[in-house]
Amino acid sequence: MIALGCTKSTNKEQLVIGFSQVTVKEPWRVIFNEKLKEKAGEYGERLKLIMLDADDKTENQVEHIKSFIAKGVDAILISPKEASGCSKAIQEATEMGIPVIVLDRDITYKGYAAYIGADNFGIGQAAGKYAVDMLGGPGKAKGKVYEICGALASTPGQERKNGFFEIVSREAGIEILGGLDADWKLDKAKEITQDVLQVNKDIDIIYAHNDPMAYGAYQAAREVGLEKKIKFLGIDGLPHEGALWVKKGILAATFLYPTPGEKGLEVAMGILLGTKKIQTGERIILSTATISHSNTK
């Protein structure tokens, strides 16, 4: 059976939803899980939520999906490591009639019930505009930018890069010095920045695809006394992390990337209870915002 046009209605006493989270090592994921658990609590005994941690490995997520299918769960939520690896398993679950909601990082298979996340290309563009303004404004911007990428096998990594590039590449005076993949990790970003600053200290802006990597880059710059000269841009905007670092003047700005767990659960429950109709492959886009000095004072 193929779950198309996803509406289901059930009178089962308890619904079971399986969630495969890519990792719990990053602060954004911890908050994501906390908010999801809190939301699950609102459904009381009506819902049993099984939350699994994939330890940053696609193969574990494939196993999670298989185990959810074997358990006969009513719906699956997944926030995948990268775009391609889980597609086949998600297709299998979908074809068995289990609604699958993909959260934050999109996948290549598009027959799932829904995708929920923010507009990563738009966030990249917003960061690009911020960089252009810091370097003198459209048509006049001049300076050197180093980019630290999140995982480029994931859609947020690709889109944050492409959106940023679309804006800054219009400026003849901006040079992008390249950018390595730090897989969203603070330590890797710090190492990359240490290496880069050994050969080139002439950098005006470091644009990192998330706040932990921006902070890692900042730490490396501080070791060689360049933390004031270089401006840092991040993404996520968690109150105790990116937003706080902006307030402290560590980052020039960050861009809010809301966690999609609560919405994901709400949509899954809506499908199962028959109160929400969605089109197969529906995209639900969460809103974002720029967090800079002007709005954190």
Residues forming contacts to ligand FRU in the complex (CB under 6 A) are 23, 26, 28-29, 104-105, 150, 154, 156, 184, 210, 235-236, 257
Whichever of 29 and 161 has its CB closer to ligand FRU, that residue is: 29
Give the nearer residue to ligand FRU in terms of CB position, either 156 or 264. 156
Tokens (6 digits) for 121: 């290309």
What's the closest the beta carbon of residue 54 comes to ligand FRU, in angstroms? Answer: 11
Q: What is the DSSP string of the chain?
A: ----S-------SSEEEEEEES-SSSHHHHHHHHHHHHHHHTTGGGEEEEEEE-TT-HHHHHHHHHHHHHHT-SEEEEE-SSSSTTHHHHHHHHHTT--EEEESS--S---SSEEEEE-HHHHHHHHHHHHHHHTTSTTT--EEEEEEES-TTSHHHHHHHHHHHHHHTT-TTEEEEEEEE-TT-HHHHHHHHHHHHHH----SEEEESSHHHHHHHHHHHHHTT-TTTSEEEEEE--TTTHHHHHHTTSSSEEEE----HHHHHHHHHHHHHT-----TTEEEEE---EEEGGGT-
Beta bridge partner(s), residue 281: none
Strand partners, 206: 146, 232
Shortest spacing between CB 134 and ligand FRU, in angstroms: 21
Measured from the CB of residue 68, what is the shortest distance to ligand FRU in angstroms? 21
Contacts of 30 (CB under 8 A, 6+ apart): 24
Nearest distance, CB of residue 184 and ligand FRU, angstroms: 3
- Which residue number, 143 or 212, has a Cβ lying nearer to ligand FRU? 212
Encoding tokens for residue 113? 């019930």
Nearer to ligand FRU, 18 or 260 (CB): 260
Report in angstroms how near the CB of residue 16 gets to ligand FRU at its nearest. Answer: 25
Cβ(88)–Cβ(99) under 8 Å? no
Structure tokens at 73: 């769960």
- Least Å distance between CB 151 and ligand FRU? 8
In the complex, minimum distance from the CB of residue 249 to ligand FRU, in angstroms, rounded to a whole number: 21
Q: Judging by DSSP bridges, how do beta strands 100-103 and 253-256 pair with one another?
A: unpaired
* Closer of 98 and 102 to ligand FRU (Cβ): 102
Q: Which is nearer to ligand FRU, 27 or 281 (CB)?
A: 27
Closer residue to ligand FRU, CB minimum distance, 141 or 238: 238
Residue 51 CB, shortest distance to ligand FRU, in Å, is 15
Q: Which is nearer to ligand FRU, 21 or 98 (CB)?
A: 21
